[in-house]
Chains A and B, each alone.
Chain A
C-alpha cells in the first residue's frame, strides 16, 4: 500500500501531464464529434449524434483525402522499411568509415520536418536541383509540386529520405542483438549470404520489424507538416491528406465537431491497420520459430 502511494507520487508529474494533454483532449474530441460546434459561437452548439460521421461518408473530399493518405502510407512504409533494412545490413558489416555512414543516415531524423520541407520545396522548384539534373540528361524541366500527377509522389520520396535513417538505426540495434553463434552455425552449414539473410537475419529481426512497420504506419497516416508547408493539399486536391483535411475544416470553416469526427474515423482506420500488422507479423514469427 505504502509502496503504491510513493510510486504514484513519483509518477504524478507524468500522470498529470498525460491527463491534461492526452486523455482530456482525446475524450473532449470524442464528445465534440457528436456535436455541431463552432468555437466562435459556443451558444449555437447542438447535439447531432452520428450526423457528422454520415456527412464524412458522403463527402467526396473525405474519401479523396483518405485515398491520398492510403497511397502515401502504402507507398512509403514498405520502401522505407526495405531500404532501412538493407542499409542496416550494409553498415553492420566491417566496412571503412562505418561510423560516418551510421551518423550520416541518421542526420535527416534530427532536422525539423519544416526545414526539410522547405529545402525540398526548393529542390522541386522550376529552377531547383531536380530540374537541373533533368536538364543535364536532356529532359524538359517541369514544376514537380505543381503537377497533380507528381506532387504526392514528390512528397513521398521526400518522406522516405527523411525517415529511413531513424529506422536504419532501429534495424541496426536489432541486427546487433542477433548472437554471432547463429551466423557461425549457418556458415558451417554452408549457407551463403542470401541464405543467411533469408533464414537467419530476417526471422531474427522480426520483432523490431513489427515495431518499425507499426510506428511508421501510424506516423505516415498522420502526415501533415509536409503538406502544410509544401502544397496545402493542392494541386487539385492531389496532396490533400486526412489530417490536413480535418485541419482545414476545423480552423477555416469552424466545423470543430465534424473535424473531430473525421479524426476519429482516421483513428479507427489506423487502429485496424495496426491490429492487422501485429497479427500478421506475430503469426509469422510463431510459424518461424
Chain B
C-alpha cells in the first residue's frame, strides 16, 4: 500500500512537470467537459430523474489547491462512492467563517482547524467526539493533547508547524561571524545581533515581533519555555506565569530590543528577504517564499537558542492543524474516512513537501530519507521535537491576549517586567478560575 502511494505521488510529480505544454489542450478539454457535464446535468434535472449517487463530502481547509488537490483526487479514486467538495479558507478570516457556518448549521463535514482554536470549539460542544474511533492512530501520531479536552478526543492531528531561527549568512560574514555556526545560546544570540545591528545603514540585528496579536506569544514563549517556564500548571487550573524563569526570559527578550527592528511578522519576513535583518524567528513558509522572492539570499536555519550551553532546551512554539468533524454533521463516518486517508504517512509527506511550511505529525519523521536531502526542512523537524504547544485551555485566546499585551507593554517600556508579570498572572488566574469547563 505504502509503496504504491509513493509511486502514484511520483507520477503525479511528472504529470505536473509536463503540464505547461498541455495547458491549452487541457483548457479546451475542460470546456468541452464542462459543456457536456452541464448538458447532462440539465437533462437530468429537467426530466426529473436526477438521482443522488454516492456521497458528497464538504471539506474546508487552508491549503492552496495545487497542494491539496492531488491528494483529494487520489482519495476519490480510492473511494469511488465519495465526492469531495473542497473550500479553501484563509488564516485571516477562516475562523469567522467557521463560526458563522457552525452557528447557522451549514458547517462542513470535515474541517481543518488551528490547534489553538480546538479547545474553544470543543468546550462549546460543536465538535464531533472521535475518542473511540482513532484507536490505532494514537500511537503513530503526535499532538493529541491539542485536540483533547477533559480526556475526550475531538479531532485528528494532521500536520504541525513550528518556528525556527532564520539567519542571514552574508550579514554574519560582514560582521565577522562564522556563517556556519548560528547562535545556540541566548548570550550568543544577543552578541550576533549586536555585531550585525547598524540602523544607520538600514541593517538590523534581530527581527523582533511586537504590535501584532496571535503572533507575539509564539516569539516570546520559546525563550520562556526553553528556560523551564510555563503558562499554566499541569491540570490547567492555575497560572504559573509569574515565575522566575519567565521573568528571566522576559528580561532577556527586552534586552534584545536594543539590537532589533520591532515590526510585524510580514514586515520582518520581507525585510529579512531584502537582506537587512540578521536573525529572526519565523516559520517554514519562508522556505517556500525566500527561494521564490529572493533567490540570491544566503540564509541558514537553526533551532531556537537555549538559555545557556549547560541548561535549558531549544524550545519553540508548536502549532498543529487538526482535522475535526462537527457534532451536527450527518456524514461523520465518511468524513473520518477522509481524515484517516489524509493522515496516512505518504499523503502527509506529500502535503508537507509541496507546502514546506509544515511537518508531518507522525512519530520519527526525522528519519525519513526525504529530510536527509533537505537539511533546512530537517531543522524544522528537529525543532518540532523540542517544541511546546500552548496549553489546550478553552479560553486560550484570552490568555494569549494577556501574554501578548504584557510582553508588548514591557518591550515598549510602559511597565516594569516584574509588575507586568504579576499583573498578567492575576489576569490569567481569573480567566482560568472563571472558566466553565
Contacts and interface: CB of A to CB of B under 8 A. Distances in A.
B212 A232 contact: yes
Contacts of B412: 148, 235-236
A232 B405 CA distance: 13
B45 interface: no
Nearest to A247: B96
A252 interface: yes
B125 A146 contact: no
Given A126-B204, A126-B263, A39 B210 contact: no
Contact of B102 (A40, A135, A251): A40
Contacts of A125: 263, 267, 270-271
Nearest to B395: A253
A116 interface: no
A148 B411 CA distance: 11
A235 B121 CA distance: 28
Contacts of A148: 412
Interface stretch (A6-14, A17-25, A137-145, A173-181): A137-145
Contacts of A127: 202, 270-271, 274, 276
A40 B263 contact: no
Contact of A126 (B212, B261, B408): B261
Interface in A148-178: 148, 151
B62 to A, nearest CB: 17
Nearest to A43: B125
B354 to A, nearest CB: 27
Which bucket holds chain A's interface residue count? 20 to 34
Given A39-B99, A39-B100, A252-B397, A234 B211 contact: yes
Contact of B99 (A145, A236, A254): A254
A233 B213 CA distance: 9
A40 B274 contact: no
A251 B95 contact: yes
- Residue among A127, A135, A237 with max Cβ neighbours from chain B (10 Å): A127
A42 B103 contact: yes
A38 interface: yes
B64 interface: no
B264 interface: yes
B414 interface: yes
Given A39-B100, A151-B211, A251-B96, A126 B124 contact: no
B117 to A, nearest CB: 10
B200 interface: yes
A145 B274 CA distance: 19
Contacts of A232: 212-213
B199 interface: yes
Contacts of A42: 103
Interface in B61-97: 95-96
B262 A143 contact: yes
Nearest to A231: B211
Contacts of A58: none
Contacts of B263: 125-126, 143, 145-146
B412 to A, nearest CB: 6
Contact of A253 (B102, B125, B199, B397): B397
Contacts of A39: 99-100, 102-103
B212 A143 contact: no
A41 interface: yes
A140 B204 CA distance: 13
Contacts of B262: 143, 146
A126 B397 contact: no
Contact of A234 (B95, B202, B213, B276): B213
B261 A143 contact: yes
A235 B211 contact: yes
Contacts of B409: 236
Given A40-B102, A235-B408, A145 B95 contact: no
Given A141-B202, A232-B213, A236-B412, A40 B95 contact: no
Interface of A: 38-42, 121, 125-127, 131, 135, 140-141, 143, 145-146, 148, 151, 231-237, 251-254
Given A127-B271, A143-B267, A146-B210, 15 more contacts: A38-B124, A40-B125, A41-B125, A126-B204, A127-B270, A141-B199, A143-B262, A146-B264, A148-B412, A232-B213, A234-B211, A234-B264, A234-B408, A237-B405, A251-B99
11 contacts: A39-B102, A40-B102, A40-B125, A41-B124, A41-B126, A127-B271, A131-B202, A143-B263, A143-B267, A145-B211, A146-B210
